[in-house]
Amino acid sequence: MKVHPIAELFPPLTESELRDLADSIKATGLQHPIVLDANGVLLDGRHRLAVCKALGVEPRFTTYEGDAPGTYVLSINIRQRNLTSGQAAMIAAEAHAYAATSGLQLSDASARSLSEKTGGDDRMALARYVMQHEPALVDSVVTRAVSLDDAYKAARHSVGRAQAEKEHLTRLRIEDPELADRVISGELSPIQAWQERAARVKEDKRQRMVATNLLCDVVPTLAQTRGSRAFARFDPQYQSPGRPVTRETIAHAMTALTEMAAIWEQRDLP
């Protein structure tokens, strides 16, 4: 038998609830008939029908005569089922979203009339936020595996993470286009790329500090020898092991100073 799609949004009864329902039907029979629409679609009582079949009890049926079966299904199930406000709000939000995209008739008044069960507009707003930003948690809320509040926190976290990743990618496009391209290609996530960018910046800073300290140690000392007799007094027998001063090293030093002067001029350093 076909079940109304909004009825299928509700979680199945637990084993304990099914046992209680079976015990009730055994003891007093089926108290509430199975509700169908004019086309034989089941609106309410799928669990009662299943228990009747399992027990060999002849079910009774009645036909819904209203003009808003979707609203009826949502209202009767939320009122009868043992649901938390988070579950009820999520199911109601799902039902209205489904109705909006499938052409089903679902009265806006139904949400207002169920405000006591769903927790009102605030809880419905949380449910819609989770549906939009963390849809993977919708079923977990409906089955009570995750509370609506926790799902909302996770959705807020996802939105914050997505915004941070967007900002990271925007900065990477400016500061490190190569890393940005690796993010766009899927090789790295924005967070991973930004971590690599931070590591590169840290390493660059370390290298600049090392280079600066080296030049500050070497160049001023060399400059102090200008016009002195240090060169004439150089004696190879006293030079430090592993640090020979030869014509080759002097030539390299002169080349290095020429390169350094060019860089200073290019960067307009004093």
Would you give the distance in Å from CA 185 to the centre of its chain?
A: 20
Kindly state whether residue 165 falls inside one of the protein's structural domains. no
How confident is the model over 168-190, as a mean pLDDT? 89
pLDDT of residue 250 exceeding 80: yes
Could you give the number of structural domains in the chain?
2
Write out pLDDT tens, residues 111-125: 566 777 888 888 989
172 falls within a domain: no
Please tell me whether residues 256 and 200 are part of one structural domain: yes
Q: Is 221 among the domain residues?
A: yes
φ and ψ of 209, to 5 deg: -65, -45
| Structural domain includes residue 235 | no
Residues 24 and 129 in one domain: yes
Residue 150 pLDDT exceeds 90: yes
**What's the pLDDT score for residue 110?**
58
Percentage of residues in the chain having pLDDT higher than 90: 67
What is the distance between the alpha carbons of residues 90 and 142, in angstroms, rounded to a whole number? Answer: 6
Q: Are residues 112 and 19 in the same domain?
A: yes
Indicate whether 10 pLDDT > 70: yes
Mean pLDDT of the chain: 90
196 belongs to a structural domain: yes
Whether 128 is covered by a domain: the verdict is yes
Residues 94 and 198 in one domain: no
Per-residue pLDDT tens digits for 99-109? 888 877 676 65
63 pLDDT exceeds 80?
yes
120 and 42 part of one domain: yes
124-147 average pLDDT score: 94
Percent of the chain at pLDDT exceeding 70 = 97
What is the pLDDT at residue 7?
93
Do 102 and 65 lie in one domain? The reply is yes
Is residue 49 located within the same domain as residue 108?
Answer: yes
The answer to whether residue 268 scores a pLDDT higher than 90 is yes
Same domain, 190 and 222: yes
- pLDDT recorded at residue 199: 94
Same-domain check for residues 153 and 189: no
Check residues 131 and 110 and name the one with the higher pLDDT. 131
- Predicted pLDDT of residue 103: 76
Of 16, 20, 53, which Cα lies nearest the Cα of 34?
53
Say whether both 115 and 194 belong to one domain. no
Quick one: pLDDT at residue 135? 94
Evaluate whether residue 170 is within a structural domain.
Answer: no
**Per-residue pLDDT reduced to its tens digit, 67-97:** 889 889 998 998 888 899 999 999 999 998 9
Quickly state the pLDDT bin for 57 (edges 50, 70, 90).
very high
Please tell me whether residues 78 and 26 are part of one structural domain.
yes
Tell me, yes or no, whether 33 and 97 share the same domain: yes
How confident is the model over 236-265, as a mean pLDDT?
92
Domain end marker among 130, 159, 188: 159
Assign 156 a pLDDT band (cuts: 50, 70, 90).
Answer: very high
Q: Mean pLDDT throughout 137-160? A: 95
Q: Which domain holds residue 29?
A: 7-159
Q: Phi/psi class of residue 63: alpha, beta or left (left: φ > 0; alpha: ψ in -120 to 50)? A: beta
| Sheet strands side by side (includes 42-44) | 42-44, 34-36, 61-63
CA–CA dist 87, 6 (Å, integer): 14
Task: Name which of 116-125, 181-190, 255-264 the model is least confident about.
Answer: 116-125
Q: Phi and psi for 35 in degrees, rounded to 5?
A: -100, 125
Q: Calculate mean pLDDT across residues 44-49.
A: 95
Q: Which residues, including other chains, have CB under 8 Å from residue 153's CB and lie 6 or more apart?
A: none
